[in-house]
Structure 1
Amino acid sequence: MTDRPQPNHMKTVWSLLGVVVFMGAMAWAAVPFYDWFCRVTGYGGTTQRADSASETVVDQVVRVRFDANTDRNLDWTFRPMQTRIDLNIGETALVFYEATNNSDEPITGTASFNVAPEVAGYFFDKVECFCFTEQTLQPGERMEMPVTFYVNPDIVGDRDAGWVRDITLSYTFHRTDPPRATQAALAGDAAVNTN
């Protein structure tokens, strides 16, 4: 039995199918790749994660300002408990943010974060942060959430970021559970679909 050559239209179909599979794989990989790229390079002001405090402290002061925002779908009050601190580069600092659930339902949120200027992101190391996990607040609950960080001493010798002595750490809390009305609608849809 001999293999017959495929007609041209079948080659085209297989080529297009290959392109679709490739594009789907690239779309699937884009988000984790972008996240990895930002963490490695500090792109977009993405901060770094450190396992321990810095062992080196430089006798140069950096001012860190704190900013807090909430997504419009999140009925929380969220604010830094201090507006700024001055610390030596490499010195470990502990600061707190405060969140209060103003609603009558439990709400879970996740904080996104960045620093400005963006070039400082690669040198801003967080040891511990509430932003590493989801936070759930009960109705009316208030919580103080810690952030432990330092500015990496390597910033001093960096060609692009060596001039930075004023950094803003900004958080935005986003709701990660659907609002009660959405939950009820989803439960209603599920009941209709099972009947």
Structure 2
Amino acid sequence: MAELHYNSIDPTVARRNKRVAMTGLFVAASMVGLAYASVPLYNIFCQVTGFGGTPGKATDNPKGVIDREMTVRFDSNVANDLAWSVEPAVAITDKIGAVDTVNYIATNNSDKPITGMAVFNVSPEKAGVYFNKIECFCFTEQTLQPGETVDMPIVFFVDPELDQNQELDTIREITLSYTFYASDNEGS
């Protein structure tokens, strides 16, 4: 009868295999964690840099007002699954740096409470970094009762540093656009 030989695994090889396995698990777990964190991290990146026309969030305008005027136009779009109608604010022309307040008007056209949110964008895209919102309905979910109509205020200013960007010398108009969509929350 043939003799069976059981080779034992060298302890050094076993340690290396364990280290490779642990490193692989760590990398996989890190990738899953980054996948879940990518959307919030991307949103923060966009708000800080103005990337993709994302306006910044401010508490006030510490830089003052300059003589150059800018017209800000407002736009709204409503997703098909949200039974709201939203009327954008009327365009406003003011000096760059002036703090202005406008209102969007939203109405729930259904017979049940509906919670919605809005995402926003600024065009031209390069102006997004200079558009700062102090207060905005887009920072929170909004629940409207059946038939309810509400004013949704935005307090904003255009940063005077826009005037120092030669690429934006010819810009006289900025558009703030909101897209409203149904939230995962179903009413209050």
Q: TM-score range by the shorter chain?
A: 0.7 to 0.9
Normalised by the size of structure 2, how large is the TM-score? 0.85
1:141 corresponds to which of 128, 144, 148: 148
Question: Aligned equivalents of 2:114 and 2:52: distance in 1?
Answer: 28
Question: Counterpart in 1 of 2:112?
Answer: 105
Question: Counterpart in 1 of 2:60?
Answer: 52
Aligned 8 A contact 1:80 1:98 in 2: yes
- Aligned residue for 2:126, secondary structure, equals helix
Question: Aligned equivalents of 2:143 and 2:100: distance in 1?
Answer: 25
Question: Counterpart in 1 of 2:98?
Answer: 91
What is the percent sequence identity of the aligned residues? 46
Normalised by the size of structure 1, how large is the TM-score? 0.82
Question: Counterpart in 1 of 2:76?
Answer: 68
Q: Structure 2: where are the runs of 5+ without partners?
A: 1-9
Q: Deviations over 1:45-91 (max 9, x none)?
A: 11111112455111111111110011111000011141x11111111
Question: Counterpart in 1 of 2:13?
Answer: 6
Question: Counterpart in 1 of 2:125?
Answer: 118
The residue type equivalent to 1:78 in the other structure is V
The RMSD of aligned alpha carbons is: 2.1
Cα offset, 1:103, TM superposition? 0.3
Deviates more, 1:22-31 or 1:162-171: 22-31
Cα offset, 1:15, TM superposition? 3.9
Deviates more, 1:90-99 or 1:49-58: 49-58
Question: Counterpart in 1 of 2:5?
Answer: none
Q: Deviations over 1:103-158 (max 9, x none)?
A: 00001111111100111111001111111221111000111111111101000002
Question: Counterpart in 2 of 1:25?
Answer: 33
Which of the two has higher C-alpha Rg?
2
Deviates more, 1:145-154 or 1:162-171: 162-171
Deviates more, 1:171-180 or 1:84-93: 171-180
Question: Aligned equivalents of 1:135 and 1:81: distance in 2?
Answer: 18
Aligned 8 A contact 1:76 1:101 in 2: yes
Question: Aligned equivalents of 1:54 and 1:89: distance in 2?
Answer: 13
